[in-house]
Amino acid sequence: MRIAIIGAGLGGLLAGAILSKKHDITIYEKLPFIGGRFTNIEIDRFKLTTGALHMIPHGSRGFLAKALRLAGANVKIINSNPDGTFLINGKEYLYKELFSLLGVREKLKAIKLAADLKIGNFDKNMSFGEFLEDVDLALKVGNAFTGWALSLSAYDVKMEEIYEIAKNYHRYGGPGVPIGGCKAVIDELERIIKENNGKIIKEYEVKKVDIEDKVYVDGEEYDLAISNVSPKETEKIFNIKFLDKKIEEAKGIKISVATKRGLIKHSGVLFTPECERINGLNQVTNVDKNLAPEGWHLVMTHQAQITNNIKKEIDLGLEDIERLFKNIDYKILHIQSYRDGVPVNHVKSGIYINNKVNDKLFLVGDGAKGKGGIEVEGIAMGVLKVVNYIGY
């Protein structure tokens, strides 16, 4: 079949690489580069990212790793050890060690919360924040996790989604770092598509797609189409209505920091429950030194955007960094905000959009993630559904 893919983000490229084995693929991308928010940009010889944090939520064991293997991509992912630590009162704790910080009553409450989450004993429409709010430390920790992983406060995520995330974590484990960063993944997908005679057309903005007996992309005929743009933009381009629920986005801010001494000793996430805004940070050069110039470390912080005052949000993040790096020399490399036309997610976690619109139109990307799929893992879940629908 001839298949048109609108958008060369991770979802579009992943679907294109898998399907190009059997089908004639053409990918249209309006930007001069591919990868969307999952590729590298170089600043002062540091390999920063356009969005993601050089980290894959379930490392070499999750949905993205599975989809890459299916595509035949040669990407090395180093699993983090530990998955993460939590910075409390200037000291780092593993998750299981946090219980030691609680008094007897709070410890009992926390044990019950953990048990209820494990067996699904809760109102699925309750927010994660409401679920945790009887234990102050649990709420702070939960908020740090959802801010880092989903760019949302704990009160903006329903328990139904948290339960699915927890199940996936227990099944597939924690994060990992791809050697070469995000661009290593994108480069491999591009290589596969081109080797399979697929086409990637950059700097081409698709204006109109008509669906009749065939699919016509600005007049060019295809058998079906995959959209890797937002669901709202898909409705506009395809002149079709399929959204039956209110769509909300997830917004965030990422700050890239250079330091010679380093801040984090491990390869996982350092969660920061006591920070005013920053939810967590990682130091990917503990895994891949080539992501920074020799003798330097690259640290990336992430925070959910709480208000619409971007300057205030960034200033609060910078104040957190000043406290975190109190005794360490550092310099700010880049500040990126993800909102408006380029949010962290076009559809926030917990709002589920079907990947199949009809027999000729399918959705991939951060607007159509699978249940419990954190960021790129959710994108990969959607891609795996779509390629199974179509056949590869």
Q: Taking the chain, what is the end-to-end CA distance rounded to the nearest angstrom?
A: 10
Give pLDDT tens digits along the chain (392 positions): 999 999 999 999 999 999 999 999 999 999 999 999 999 999 999 999 999 999 999 999 999 999 999 999 999 999 999 999 999 999 999 999 999 999 999 999 999 999 999 999 999 999 999 999 999 999 999 999 999 999 999 999 999 999 999 999 999 999 999 999 999 999 999 999 999 999 999 999 999 999 999 999 999 999 999 999 999 999 999 999 999 988 999 999 999 999 999 999 999 999 999 999 999 999 999 999 999 999 999 999 999 999 999 999 999 999 999 999 998 999 999 999 998 889 999 999 999 999 999 999 999 999 999 999 999 999 999 999 999 999 99
3-class secondary structure, 266: coil
Q: Which CATH architecture has domain 251-338?
A: Alpha-Beta Complex (3.90)
Topology agreement, domain 2-76+180-247+347-390 and domain 251-338:
no
Domain 2-76+180-247+347-390 class? Answer: alpha beta
Question: What is the pLDDT, as a whole number, of residue 339?
Answer: 86
Q: Residue ranges of the domains in the chain?
A: 2-76+180-247+347-390, 96-172, 251-338
Question: What is the pLDDT, as a whole number, of residue 287?
Answer: 98
Euclidean distance between CA atoms 392 and 142, whole angstroms: 39
Question: What is the pLDDT, as a whole number, of residue 6?
Answer: 98
- Topology of domain 96-172 in CATH is Polyamine Oxidase; Chain A, domain 2 (3.90.660)
- Provide the token pair at 340: 């408006």
**DSSP per residue, 158-223:** BHHHHHHHHHHHHHH-S-EEETT-HHHHHHHHHHHHHHTT-EEE-S-----EEESSSEEETTEEES
Euclidean distance between CA atoms 78 and 55, whole angstroms: 10
| pTM for this predicted structure | 0.97
Euclidean distance between CA atoms 346 and 367, whole angstroms: 5
Please return the burial class of 27, using the count of CB atoms within 10 Å of its CB with bins 0-12, 13-18 and 19+: buried
Question: What is the pLDDT, as a whole number, of residue 245?
Answer: 87
